[in-house]
């Protein structure tokens, strides 16, 4: 496989993208994939520098990765649970690069525990970051997208959004609230897609398979029993790239899993810078 390179005249040349949760893992890979196709990327997360999180990966590293490869990117440190930070993120992006063409809502704060034990504070935080933040950020970027009659919003979901099926005799992993968030995000996606297709804006969902990231390792989602299902991170970044340039007339309101989606398009994922 050929080494990945930045193509400043790629399919996203001239486009401005925001990628949330981009300090590590899936978000960092998405930011890099969009940048290597010529997009000017603003990456955001709470972890900007080393020592700010117990997990590996920082915004500074994501941006260095892109810029050293010849792409164009900057970061805005933001806590997406805070309205002011969300507004500052969009304002800074527009001031730096111009109107937002692509919004990728990837950020998540996740706790796994049974409903009976779930604290109100953590429930509200998960809903704020995983549901209301994508809603609010979409509100902030949509006026310009509608005015210019172009735009792409990609929301990152999960198989957790699918309803559990009986029999229900086995104890769950405490993922009910996480599943609620992802189901709500998917319903928001299809609803918004139906509202703004006439305005030239595509809104879609990508769900990754099981990807080895600092977060999935922390929650022990990747283990000896699941390791054979682990999917290369390039699948999710490629699927997001494809939905960041799709034709709204033929591809909006979709809820896609990365690998089957790429198979449908007869594509192999590209290597990432």
Q: Where along the chain do its domains lie?
A: 16-264
Q: What SS3 state is found at 198? A: helix
* Active-site residue flag, 111: no
Provide the edge-to-edge strand list for the sheet that holds 151-156: 72-77, 40-45, 16-20, 102-105, 151-156, 201-207, 255-257
Q: Tokens for 29, please give them.
A: 């890979």
Instruction: Give, for all 273 residues of the chain, the pLDDT tens digit.
Output: 567 999 999 999 999 999 999 999 999 999 999 999 999 999 999 999 988 888 879 999 999 999 999 999 999 999 999 999 999 999 999 999 999 999 999 999 999 999 999 999 999 999 999 999 999 999 999 999 999 999 999 999 998 899 988 888 766 678 999 999 999 999 999 999 999 999 999 999 998 866 656 665 555 665 666 656 567 889 999 999 999 999 999 999 999 999 999 999 999 999 999
Tokens 């897609």 sit on residue = 193
- Write down the catalytic residue from 97, 111, 168, 178: 178
Top CATH class of 16-264 equals: alpha beta
pTM over 0.85: yes
Q: Tokens for 122, please give them.
A: 């953590």
Q: Return all residues near 100 (Cβ < 8 A) that are at least 6 apart.
A: 16, 17, 18, 90, 93, 94, 141, 144, 145, 151
């Amino acid at each position: 496989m050929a080494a990945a390179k930045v193509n400043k005249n790629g399919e996203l040349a001239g486009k401005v993208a925001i990628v949330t949760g981009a300090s590590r893992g899936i978000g960092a890979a998405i930011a890099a994939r969009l940048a290597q196709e010529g997009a000017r990327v603003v990456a955001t997360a709470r972890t900007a520098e080393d020592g700010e999180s117990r997990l590996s990966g920082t915004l500074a590293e994501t941006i260095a990765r892109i810029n050293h490869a010849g792409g164009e990117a900057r970061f805005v440190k933001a806590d997406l649970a805070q309205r002011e930070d969300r507004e500052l993120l969009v304002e800074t992006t527009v001031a730096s690069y111009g109107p937002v063409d692509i919004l990728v809502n990837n950020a998540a704060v996740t706790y796994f525990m049974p409903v009976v034990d779930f604290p109100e504070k953590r429930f509200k935080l998960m809903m704020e970051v995983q549901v209301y933040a994508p809603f609010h950020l979409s509100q902030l970027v949509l006026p310009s997208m509608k005015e210019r009659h172009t735009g792409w919003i990609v929301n990152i979901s999960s198989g957790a959004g699918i309803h559990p099926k009986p029999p229900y005799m086995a104890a769950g992993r405490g993922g009910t609230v996480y599943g609620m968030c992802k189901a709500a995000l998917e319903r928001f996606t299809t609803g918004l897609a139906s509202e703004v297709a006439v305005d030239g804006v595509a809104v879609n969902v990508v769900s990754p398979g099981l990807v080895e990231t600092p977060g999935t390792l922390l929650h022990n989602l990747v283990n000896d029993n699941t390791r054979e299902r682990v999917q290369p991170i390039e699948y999710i970044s490629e699927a997001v790239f494809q939905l960041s340039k799709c034709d709204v007339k033929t591809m909006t309101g979709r809820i896609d899993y990365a690998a089957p989606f790429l198979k449908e398009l007869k594509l192999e994922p590209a290597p990432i810078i």
